Amino acid sequence: MRKHSRRFSEALQKVEKNKFYSPLDGLHLMKNLSNINFIETAEIHIVLGLDPKYADQQLRATVILPKGTGKIIRVAVVTNETKTSEAILAGADIAGGKDLIEEITKGRLDFDKLIATPDVMLSIAKLGKILGPKGLMPSPKAGTITNDLTKTIKEFKSGKLEYRVDRTGILHIPFGKLNFTTEELYSNLITLQQSIDKNRPQGAKGKYWKTAYISSTMGPSIPLNINLLRDNYL
C-alpha cells in the first residue's frame, strides 16, 4: 500500500469521499489545501473515451489560456538568416539557423518550445530522435511550424499551450498557478474545456468525457462534476 506524508494525508482527509465538486468549489478547495513553501501548478487530468491507437481518435491541439500559464516560457526559433532578427524582436530567447541546429545536435536543450519556419524543416528532421522524446519537435498540430514568427512567439509567451492524450486516452494539462485567483483559474479551465470539446476527434464514440480531476503539484486529486464543468457552471 502506498504511503503518504502526514501533510498529504491531512489534505486528503479534507476531500470528501464520493463527492464530485463543482468547478469553483473544487478550485477553492485546491487552493486552500496548499501549504507548500513554493507556488504550485494547478493541473487537470481528464480521462476521455478515446483509443489513441486509432488515427481518428487522437487528440492533439493548442489553446491560448486567457490568464496565461504563470510559467515563464523559453522560446527557441530555427529559421533562415533573414528572419532571425524578427524572432528576437518578437521575444524569442534563442534564434538561429544551421548554427542552432548544430548546437541542439550537441545537446543544447535550454528551451521549452521550439518554433521553426517551413523552409528549415528538412534540416530539422535529423533532430527527431533528440526533440521527439521531449515533445519539442516542431509540428503543424502544435502550431510550432509557421511563417508568422511574431504572432506565434507572442502567443506562446502569453499563455498558449499544447495538449495531447497519452497512450491510455488521458489528458494531463497544467492550467495556471495557485497564486492565481479562483476566478482566473476558472477562466483558464473553462477555456480549456471548450477547446477539448471543439477538437473532439471524429472517431470518438460514446461518452467523450469520463472523469476529470484537478490537483496542485503536491496536493491530492479533487474530482469534478463533469456536467457542471461542461455547462460552464458558476
Q: Is residue 98 assigned to a domain?
A: yes
Give the helix ranges, DSSP H, for 58-109: 81-89, 98-105
Residue 1 has pLDDT above 70, yes or no: no
94/135 same-domain check: yes
Residues 165, 152: Cα–Cα separation, whole Å: 23
Q: Model pTM?
A: 0.82
Looking at the structure, tell me whether residues 84 and 148 fall in a common domain.
yes
Q: Which amino acid, one-letter code, is at 79?
A: T
Q: Which of 157, 182, 217 is a domain's end point? A: 157
Structural domain boundaries, residue 81: 75-157
- State the pLDDT confidence band at 2, using cuts at 50, 70 and 90: low
**9-66 pLDDT, tens per residue?**
777 788 888 899 999 999 999 999 988 889 999 999 999 999 999 999 999 999 999 9
**Residue 102, domain CATH:** 3.40.50.790
CA dihedral angle for residue 75, residue 79, residue 82, residue 83, rounded to 10 degrees: -30
Residue 87 has pLDDT above 60, yes or no: yes
Looking at residue 203, which CATH number applies to its domain?
3.30.190.20
**Confidence grade of residue 159 (pLDDT, cut at 50, 70, 90):** confident
Grid cell listed for 192? 480549456
How do residues 38-51 score in pLDDT, each as one tens digit? 999 999 999 999 99
Q: Given 157, 187, 210, which residue is the final one in a domain?
A: 157
Q: Classify residue 3: in a domain, yes or no.
A: no
* 54 and 169 in a common domain: yes
Band of the pLDDT at 232, cuts 50, 70, 90? low
Sheet holding 170-177, edge to edge: 170-177, 41-48, 209-216, 222-223
Contact between 223 and 21 (Cβ < 8 Å): yes
